[in-house]
A = this chain, B = another copy of it.
Amino acid sequence: MPALSDPRTDLKPPLSGASVASSAGATAAFSPLYQQIKGLILNSLRAGEWKPGESIPSETDLAVRYRVSQGTVRKAIDELAAENLLLRRQGKGTFVATHAEQQVQFRFLRLVPDSGTRGSEGPAQRNIIECRRTRANADVNRALALRSGDQVLQARRVLSFGGTPVILEDIWLPAAPFKGLTAERLANYQGPMYALFETEFNVRMVRAQESIRAVAASAAQATLLTTAVGTPLLSVERVAYTYHDEPMELRRGYYRTDTHHYQNDVS
What CA separation (Å) do A46 and B174 show in the bound complex?
Answer: 50
- In-complex Cβ contact of A214 among B206, B209, B211, B234 (8 A): B234
**Contact flag A213-B265 (CB < 8 Å), given A232-B232, A233-B232:** no
So how many copies of this chain end up in the complex? 2
Number of A residues whose C-beta is below 8 Å from B?
Answer: 31
> Top 10 closest A-B pairs, CB basis?
A214-B232, A213-B257, A207-B267, A214-B214, A212-B262, A232-B232, A211-B261, A214-B234, A210-B264, A208-B266
29 CB contacts below 8 A, A to B, read A82-B82, A84-B267, A108-B266, A207-B265, A207-B266, A207-B267, A208-B266, A209-B263, A209-B266, A210-B263, A210-B264, A210-B266, A211-B263, A211-B264, A212-B257, A212-B261, A212-B262, A212-B263, A212-B264, A213-B261, A213-B262, A214-B214, A214-B233, A214-B234, A214-B235, A214-B255, A215-B232, A215-B257, A230-B230
